[in-house]
Structures are given as structure tokens and as C-alpha cells.
Amino acid sequence: MNRIEPERIHRLNDRPLARGQYVLYWMQASQRAFWNPALEFSVDLANEHNLPVLVCFGLTPNYPEANLRHYAWMLEGLRETAQALHERDIGFVMRLGNPPDVALSLAQKAIAVVTDRGYLRHQRAWRQYLAQKAPCSVIEVEGDAVVPVETAYGRAAVSAAVLRRRIQPLIPRFLTPLQERAPRVRARFAEPTLDLTDPQKLYALLDVDRTVHPVDLPSGTKAARARLCSFLQKDLPLYAEWRSDPRRDVTSGLSPYLHFGQISPVEIAWEVSRANAPGASVFLEELIVRRELAINFVWYTPSYDRWEGLPQWAQETLHAHATDPRPALYSLEELESARTDDPIWNAAQSTLVRTGRLHNYLRMYWGKRLLVWTAHPKEALRIGLYLNNKYGLDGRDPNSYTGVGWCLGLHDRPFPERPIFGRVRAMTPEGFTRKYGTTVEKALL
């Protein structure tokens, strides 16, 4: 039982193991059959008790802010995961319902419930609810951060520099491969389950916005690993020099796979470290320091999706400039349909709507411009989160709240004062065009 670092393991209640027929793994954040500490912990526990492992997934018909684009992509990935679990002799059940209630119903016959860790408010509330109600031990195993959030730092880090100092010495200890172990007892369950092979039937069960169409990007662990492999061969050597240039798409494109837990960040970091390519350390800064700064932010900041989550200095300066004249005010509808007078912004917004993706540098520009076109910075935050989470395949992630928050001063330092932005770092169309010329929007459209 010691192949998973103890810092990843959190006991959510003090109930003992019950008498039961299986170890239940309630899968929610880490939607994968490989390099998944919660799953491997379940296998080890089951082997110790000569029991099989049953994985369950609760399909909520109305996940917060999710629409057909997100569901279609997730269900495609889960279909592969269910198949991979089956090939590993591990059971898989998916049922419609409130996820912790689905887990709770199956917990009645489990010796213990193991789950993964989610960092957002509703994910934490779900786990607490289950821990209170389950008749057995509930154990959470954190597998979607390289360094577990509370080990990395015990409070909200004000900047990347603060977290970097703490996290860097810890990385080698957590950057180790996780081998799958075979279950000793083969799963043979007759539990009723939804059929993942018929997506249209599953879509019919959902109570979501269907106007945001699914995107043409393969989902699942195999696709994530293929993308990682091609990134290592082609783009990693160019990453340090070209990652900020939206005209050369040399970034990994792994954010949706990470968001749905289809690939482990430890696996990515492990492979990148082994590749020993130029650019590896720059990439690991983004994957570990920046990504885990976002995890740190949502974990320690209860108001991570609200104005109050921004640093005090940023709130004050943006508020002081809230009445500065704006060159134009656009409604949500105009913004959503990319009808501003800025062709770069329109191209970025259209790309996000069409593909569910947006290059990091463009995303920064996209978020910053909202400040200029909304009546109050609170409105910019609200609209930024709404559009990012609605259209981004990787939206509704700790990175979403941190990325949009960064546009309003989060984790950044004050800059010389200027209209509208106050002391928050500004980005302008002139600056953008000086850097990248006028070809970006043509490349995007």
C-alpha cells in the first residue's frame, strides 16, 4: 500500500472499512484508467482484501456550466476509459443522477469508497456530502496535481514566484511513474449501467444547452497520449522560443485532456523531463508552477469566481477607474457573437466559439480587452468567465478562474497607472500588432 505518496491520500471520514463485496472507486475528476493514483489505491486495497474493484461514474444531467460540447467530449473519453477498465478486469458502472448520490447507492455494498480530488467548490461539497453519509470509510486520493495542493503551500500564494520557491524542491519527490497493478479478483458485476456506446441516447438524458456544438477533436487517454507524443517530437524543442506567438501553434494542446483528467500531469511532466529537450523547463513551469498556482488559488480562495477573489490593490485601482470613459460599450450578445470594432478580438472570440480552443497569448489579450468595453470591471470578470467557460473545452477549470482573474491583476504586480486599467497590466491592439503584425486574425479565421 505504499506506492502512492502518503500526501496524496486524505481520509474524508473516520469510519472503518465495512463488510462488503467490492472496493468502490467513485471516479469524478480523474477520468482515466492509467496513471491514476485513486484507481491504483483502490486496486491495492481490493487486493489486500481479496475483492474486486468497481468504478462508478455519476452522470449529472446538468453539471454546473456544462453544455453539449463539454458532455459530448467527456462521454467519448469515458467510453474509452470504461473499455480500458474492462480490459483490466475492473468493473465500471455509469448512472444518471447527482454524482455523490450515485456513489452513495453503490457504497452500500462496498468496504470503502475511494475517490479522486476535485478543487472547485461543488466538487469539494460533493465529496464532503458523500463522506458524511457513506456507511464506510471514504478516502480521497489526489492525482491531478504533480505536488498535492496542501503539500505545495499551506495558503494562497500571491504570485507564481512564491509558489515556485515552495514547489520546486518538492517536484522530484512526486515525479515518479505509477505502474498499473493487476486486480487479484476479476470484476463480474451485473449492476445496471448506462450504455456508453450510444451517445445520442445519452444526450437525450441531459438538461443542457445544445446550441454549443461538439468540436472535432478526439477525446480520451489515447488521444491525449498521441498528442503528448507528437508534442515531444515536434513542438517541445520550439516551445521556449515560440510558445507566446499565436501565429505558430507550438503549444501542447493538452489543456482539455488535463481538465477532464484523461491524462495525468505527472505522466506529462515525467515524459517531458525524460525528453531532456530545450524548452522542457519552460514547459514544466507552465504545467506545474502556473497550473498548480491555479489549483492553489481555487483551493484557498472561497470567492475564486467573484470580484472579492481579486487582490485588494487590483480591486481598488480598477474600481477607481471604473468611471473612466470607455471607447465603446458592448453588450454580452455583441461580444458573444464577436461584433466589436477590433478584428483581432473578434477573430479570437470566433475561434473560441468554433473550436473550443484559444492560444494562451490571445486569451490574455481577449480577457484584457473586456475591461475596455464593459461598464464596470466586475462586468468584465463576469462576462470573461461566462464566455470562457461556455465555449472553452478546457473551461470550468481552476485555470479558467485564474486566467480570467489574471487579466484583472490576479497573481500579477502593479504597473504604472493608465486610464481604465489603473495599475493593472494593460494590453492594447497597437501593442499586439507591433508584436505580431496584422496576420494573426487572418491565420485564425
Ligand X SMILES: Cc1cc2nc3c(=O)[nH]c(=O)nc-3n(C[C@H](O)[C@H](O)[C@H](O)COP(=O)(O)OP(=O)(O)OC[C@H]3O[C@@H](n4cnc5c(N)ncnc54)[C@H](O)[C@@H]3O)c2cc1C
Residues at the interface with ligand X (CB under 6 A): 243, 251-255, 258-259, 286-287, 290-291, 294, 360, 363-364, 367, 388, 392, 394-395, 397, 399-400, 403-404, 406-407
Q: Which is nearer to ligand X, 52 or 356 (CB)?
A: 356
Phi, psi dihedral angles at 113 (to 5 degrees) = -110, 130
In terms of Cβ atoms closer than 10 Å to its own Cβ (0-12, 13-18, 19+), residue 117 is buried
Q: What SS3 string covers 282-305?
A: HHHHHHHHHHHHHHHHHHHCCCCC
Cα end-to-end span (Å), the chain: 52
| CB 119 within 8 Å of CB 21 | no
Cβ 361 to ligand X, closest distance in Å? 8
Cβ 166 to ligand X, closest distance in Å? 17
Cβ 362 to ligand X, closest distance in Å? 9
Cβ 120 to ligand X, closest distance in Å? 12
C-alpha cell at 410: 490576479
3-state SS assignment for residue 13: coil
Please give the residue whose beta carbon sits closest to ligand X in the complex.
403
Cβ 385 to ligand X, closest distance in Å? 9
Q: Which is nearer to ligand X, 255 or 301 (CB)?
A: 255
Torsion region of 294: left, alpha or beta (phi above 0 gives left; psi -120 to 50 gives alpha)? alpha
Residue 22, H or E segment: strand 22-26
Cβ 258 to ligand X, closest distance in Å? 5
Cβ 398 to ligand X, closest distance in Å? 8
| CB 202 within 8 Å of CB 59 | yes
Q: Which is nearer to ligand X, 25 or 406 (CB)?
A: 406
Cβ 134 to ligand X, closest distance in Å? 31
The conformation of residue 325, written as its DSSP 8-state character, comes to P
Q: Which long-range contacts (CB under 8 A, 24 or more apart) does 427-436 make?
A: 427/364, 427/365, 427/368, 427/369, 429/342, 429/344, 429/345, 432/344, 432/365, 433/344, 436/245, 436/246, 436/247
Q: Which is nearer to ligand X, 104 or 364 (CB)?
A: 364
Q: Which is nearer to ligand X, 196 or 371 (CB)?
A: 371
Q: Which is nearer to ligand X, 69 or 243 (CB)?
A: 243
Q: Which is nearer to ligand X, 185 or 282 (CB)?
A: 282
Alpha-carbon Rg for the chain in angstroms: 22
Q: Which is nearer to ligand X, 26 or 406 (CB)?
A: 406
